[in-house]
């Protein structure tokens, strides 16, 4: 049984931000990117994006630093339906400093549970974060 370890606290403003994000009415892609402020041991907002594909978002993210990405994706199904799945994506690039990697890994489960987002994915290579990759991952949930 895995122990629930919390290494970093969550900035109180993040809870409200996530709540608004979960119930947003817009019909486009959107992302909230969270990072750890290692000096405060606090998970904070890094940036927010609207109407951005996974490929475009990939270009905005730091290549060698971990990030938590909450992503709302406008998914067009083969039968004509449109859905807006929420995804929690933990990006942890190889080569990250061990201390920073431990902070992110140790806080990930708690943050994921707190967001209430059910679709959880991990990436160790930012280059893999593409629309094709996301569609493939979401295909499992059909």
Q: Give the chain's mean pLDDT.
A: 91
In this prediction, residue 37 has a pLDDT band, given cuts at 50, 70 and 90, of: very high
What are the start-end ranges of the H helices in 7-129? 12-22, 54-60, 98-115
Label residue 119 exposed, middle or buried (CB < 10 Å: 0-12, 13-18, 19+).
Answer: middle
Is the pLDDT score of 36 beyond 60? yes
Q: Where are the domains of the chain?
A: 9-139
The HSE-up count of residue 3 (CA atoms within 13 Å, CB side) is 4
User: CA–CA separation, 119 vs 53, rounded Å?
Assistant: 18
Q: pLDDT value at position 14?
A: 94
Is the pLDDT score of 58 beyond 90? yes
Instruction: For residues 54-72, give the mean pLDDT.
Output: 96
Is the pLDDT score of 2 beyond 90? no
In contact, 55 and 73? CB cutoff 8 Å = no
Is the pLDDT score of 80 beyond 90? no
CATH of 9-139, one of 3.40.20.10, 3.50.50.60, 3.90.209.20, 3.40.120.10: 3.40.20.10
């Amino acid at each position: 049984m895995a122990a629930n370890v919390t290494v970093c606290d969550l900035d109180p403003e993040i809870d409200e931000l996530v709540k608004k994000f979960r119930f947003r009415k817009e019909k486009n892609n959107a992302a909230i990117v969270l990072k750890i402020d290692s000096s405060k041991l606090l998970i904070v907002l890094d940036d927010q994006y609207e109407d951005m594909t996974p490929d475009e978002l990939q270009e905005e993210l730091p290549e060698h630093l971990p990030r938590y990405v909450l992503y709302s994706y406008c998914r067009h199904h083969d039968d004509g339906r449109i859905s807006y799945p929420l995804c929690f994506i933990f990006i942890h690039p190889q080569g990250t400093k061990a201390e920073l990697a431990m902070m992110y890994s140790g806080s990930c489960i708690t943050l994921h549970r707190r967001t209430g987002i059910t679709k959880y994915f991990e990436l160790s290579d930012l280059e893999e974060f593409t629309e094709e990759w996301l569609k493939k991952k979401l295909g499992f949930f059909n």
